[in-house]
Structure 1
Amino acid sequence: MNKTKLLIASALKPIDDSRMYEKFGISLAKTNEYEVNIIGFTSKNTLTHNSIHFFPHGPFGRMSFDRVKNPFKTFKIYIKVKPKIIICNTHELLIVTSIYKILFGGRIIYDLRENYVKNIRNTNVFNPILRPFIAAYVRVIELITKPFFDGFIMAERIYTEQLSFVPRYKSIVIENKFMPVEVTEHKLKTNSENTVLLYSGTISASNGVFDAIKITDELHKLDSNIRLRIIGYCALKKDLRELQEAISDKDYIELIGGDFLVPHQQIIQEIKIADFGFVLKKPNNGINDDKILTRLFEYSANKLPMLLLNNPTWVKFCNEFNAAIPINPNYFNPIEILALIKNTNFYTQGNTKSSLWESEESKLLDFIAQFRD
């Protein structure tokens, strides 16, 4: 049987990105109906798979000329691979992906992992003066290229309301639920006396890393066995410098990564052995209020209790399992929080299988199958 050549492309996500590789890539490859190709940022993680081919690029900065050149390099890979289906993971590749379809045919799909326009307007990645112009440019590109795209995937349910330009009859929501790549038992805690708090994923002020440090500091004053482990990548050099300075004299806080991409499976292993996980992503003018963060799925699927920003959407999600202690980083009583940490029984209700990727996998396979002909 001839396999359909399918390519998943991103400009800034690593080739072992959990959504591109672990979820989309592996799920599609195991059907034996697709030859899967992935374009992404170079990773320290060595990957091999019989039905998945990797095309790493980079490294380059978020604000660099190499980033501008990247779509042209991606287009060359398109021509080399000659895919019948392309899943485009970022607005930066919309133009070259559309051009490929015009010249060579095939079916193309836009995977909207974020509300890019809203994020650009409300985060600190770009100069405040430039943000409105960059956001307008991205939306114009999305509108211009929309007629060429055969399908749209949205990573959040709320995007069906926020992204009005997406045709509903061509779209589907595929959430970032947890995909266990291998079934393993949790490691035993290396030191049962310590209580390990975990901050995982993208490291930044907007994701609450400094709030996690502040909360840990206050809890550590009351109990010297409280520890914080920070694992992930920090793209903003300013935040990384501030973080390194903030923890330089604190032996109870450990940083894994920071200036390099950490393999996702290493992060998952830390989730499995931690005692609590922080979820403190800031509202950023409301752009995160209604999103179900990937971290929520990862933590709940692994039954990791959470210290959770008091966001009604996230509190409702966690209440289903009795999974979290809501907290306001600006106004909290460390004595009360420590008592809750030590005396609360978590995950006493609900079924955390709802946080697993298997509920989304069949939706993805059915959606992509329609583009094979």
Structure 2
Amino acid sequence: MAQERKKRRIVIASILKPVDDTRMMEKIGMSLQQAGYDVTVVGYPAKSLKVWPGIRVISLPAFARLSTGRIKARWTVLIKAWQERPDFFIFTTHELMGTALLLKIFSNTTLVYDVRENYYRNIRYSEAFPRILRLPLAAMVRFKEKLLAPMIDHFLLAERAYESEFRFHRGGWTVIENKAVGIEPLARKRGGRRLLFSGTLAVSTGVFCAINLAILMHQQDPKVTLTIAGYAASRQVQEKLAGLAQVHSWITLVGITELVSHEVIVQRIHESDLALVAYPPAHHTEGSRP
């Protein structure tokens, strides 16, 4: 009897993204697993207890966003990936570029960088870091990407705009946009008043624009409610949202100080009548699609 062909191994890894992250697990991980690859996903612990058939899941120890635990996580990823002996290592953040390089040197693994953000612009122009640190941190990240890019075998770009926003990926790339995973439509009651804003919560993603609109709508119709579901990296944004929810009892907060699983987001979508999307003009999101 012919010997069964050994499956090629792939490790998909992140630092801050949870193991059940939609792009990492459902879009890339499940697609590769269904194509016949042996897939392992490594990432931040997920809130969901969902089981993913055919995929090994390795959760990193939990850590604060700005802590030494975040640095230690890179070494944990390296150890876990080394133990898996992957043929391909797909990493989803610039923080794992050094880890990926070491893996390639010692195991000759094929490296794929899934570029999900323009990290230079995000760090420099968003409120995620203290203002005094933004430019030096952004410059350091872009220098690292340019320096190590020749060692990377292929790039995946999450936005078509990235083709022109930077050049370090010129060795070879494929655009795989972050298109929404289909959600089964549900019947809506006419005149529904349940509003939802979900996703990353920041000034630049328009959460406060959405709140201002909801307040105007609530003034016209007191039955209007708003649910805000997602994670806010900025302490100032967290505190401002908490304050607004105290003043306006019809605003419900879900997550805010911690990650919210994709399953919970989908549940909230099903429970809502209208989703709000607001992208105020900003340097780091001008080429992105919400």
Same topology, TM > 0.5: yes
* Deviation sequence 1:121-158 (CA, Å, 0-9, x none): 10111222222211121112112211111100100011
Alignment of 1:61-76 (within 5 A): 61-76=64-79
Structure 1 residue 72: Cα displacement: 1.1
1:25 to 19, 26, 29: 29
2:55 to 52, 57, 79: 52
Q: Partner residue of 1:304?
A: none
Letter in 2 for 1:10: S
Letter in 1 for 2:113: Y
Letter in 1 for 2:227: R
Q: Partner residue of 1:127?
A: 130
Q: Partner residue of 1:43?
A: 46
Deviates more, 1:223-232 or 1:56-65: 56-65
1:252 to 250, 263, 284: 250
Deviates more, 1:273-282 or 1:69-78: 273-282
Structure 1 residue 103: Cα displacement: 0.7
Question: Is the counterpart of residue 8 in structure 1 residue 15 in structure 2?
Answer: no
Structure 1 residue 266: Cα displacement: 2.0
Cα contact 1:202–1:234 (8 A) shared by 2: yes
* Deviation sequence 1:176-200 (CA, Å, 0-9, x none): 11224xx7452x55x7654111100
Q: Partner residue of 2:144?
A: 141
Instruction: Tell me the distance in 2 between the aligned counterparts of 1:265 and 1:63.
Output: 26
Q: Partner residue of 2:280?
A: 282
Instruction: Tell me the distance in 2 between the aligned counterparts of 1:194 and 1:251.
Output: 18
* Deviation sequence 1:5-48 (CA, Å, 0-9, x none): 101111110110010011101111112x2111111110111132
Instruction: Tell me the distance in 2 between the aligned counterparts of 1:252 and 1:193.
Output: 17
Structure 1 residue 115: Cα displacement: 0.5
- For residue 129 of structure 1, give the secondary structure of its aligned residue in structure 2: helix
Q: Partner residue of 1:176?
A: 178
TM-score, with normalisation over the residues of structure 1?
0.73
Q: Partner residue of 1:323?
A: none
Cα contact 1:11–1:40 (8 A) shared by 2: yes
* Deviation sequence 1:67-97 (CA, Å, 0-9, x none): 1221111111111111110111000000110
Structure 1 residue 259: Cα displacement: 2.2
Question: Is the counterpart of residue 102 in structure 1 residue 70 in structure 2?
Answer: no
Instruction: Tell me the distance in 1 between the aligned counterparts of 2:88 and 2:24.
Output: 14
Q: How many correspondences in the alignment?
A: 286
Q: Runs of 4+ in structure 1 displaced over 6 angstroms?
A: none
Cα contact 2:196–2:274 (8 A) shared by 1: yes
Cα contact 1:199–1:277 (8 A) shared by 2: yes
Cα contact 1:195–1:227 (8 A) shared by 2: yes
Cα contact 2:126–2:284 (8 A) shared by 1: no
Structure 1: runs of 5 or more not aligned: 294-373
Letter in 2 for 1:171: W
Cα contact 1:197–1:276 (8 A) shared by 2: yes
Structure 2: runs of 5 or more not aligned: none
- For residue 201 of structure 1, give the secondary structure of its aligned residue in structure 2: strand
- For residue 130 of structure 1, give the secondary structure of its aligned residue in structure 2: helix
Structure 1 residue 247: Cα displacement: 1.2
2:120 to 114, 117, 121: 117
Instruction: Tell me the distance in 2 between the aligned counterparts of 1:69 and 1:25.
Output: 24
Cα contact 2:12–2:91 (8 A) shared by 1: yes
TM-score, with normalisation over the residues of structure 2?
0.93
Instruction: Tell me the distance in 2 between the aligned counterparts of 1:135 and 1:290.
Output: 18
Structure 1 residue 289: Cα displacement: 2.0
* Deviation sequence 1:306-353 (CA, Å, 0-9, x none): xxxxxxxxxxxxxxxxxxxxxxxxxxxxxxxxxxxxxxxxxxxxxxxx
Alignment of 1:1-373 (within 5 A): 1-31=5-35, 33-167=36-170, 170-180=172-182, 184-186=184-186, 188=187, 194-284=192-282, 286-293=283-290
Instruction: Tell me the distance in 1 between the aligned counterparts of 2:94 and 2:181.
Output: 25
Closer, same or farther in 2 for the Cα pair 1:221/1:93, shift >3 Å?
A: same
Cα contact 1:194–1:225 (8 A) shared by 2: no
Structure 1 residue 291: Cα displacement: 1.3
Letter in 2 for 1:7: V
**Alignment RMSD:** 1.7
